[in-house]
Amino acid sequence: MTTLQKGDKAPNFSGKDQDGTTHTLADYAGKKLVVFFYPKANTPGCTAEACDLRDNYARFEAQNYALLGVSADSAKAQSSFKNKYEFPFPLLADEDKSVIQAFGVWGPKKFMGKEYDGIHRTTFVINEEGIIEEVITDVKTKAHAAQILR
């Protein structure tokens, strides 16, 4: 699982969002960036998490944060998810898992007694210089904004 820690340089990622627009770490220089990884679009926990971030978006903007959601869903699934809930932030469709693996959030998981590989719900808070300020692995889906904007 993730070996990235507070104080590490964030991976220089590049990924396409729901509209095919490329996003890289360099695009967010001078801003604080919240990169939140979630297992699957339109599932209850992921929806609760993304909606909580959406509902607090003005607070993030006021503090110079940009938000970027990432899962291995297709661009079509990400677009549907974003439009359905009117998210004001892009969602990367990381089908090849290059961003997911760069951040180290892919690995073995257990659900209902079965073990499988999947995305671990993890959020990285990256400062204006591209340094990781915080890694949140115990994400509270219904109160995630409060975990970030303490």
Q: Give the residue numbers annotated as catalytic, written as ranges.
A: 46
List the one residue out of 131, 125, 122 whose CA is nearest residue 1: 122
**Rounded Cα distance, 52 and 146, in Å:** 9
**Cα-flanking dihedrals φ and ψ of residue 64, to 5°?**
65, 35
Compute CA 18 distance to the chain's CA centroid, rounded to the nearest angstrom: 14
Strands 114-119 and 106-111 turn out to be antiparallel
Rounded distance between C-alpha atoms, residue 29 and residue 130, angstroms: 7
Of the CA atoms within 13 Å of residue 63, those in its CB half-sphere come to: 15
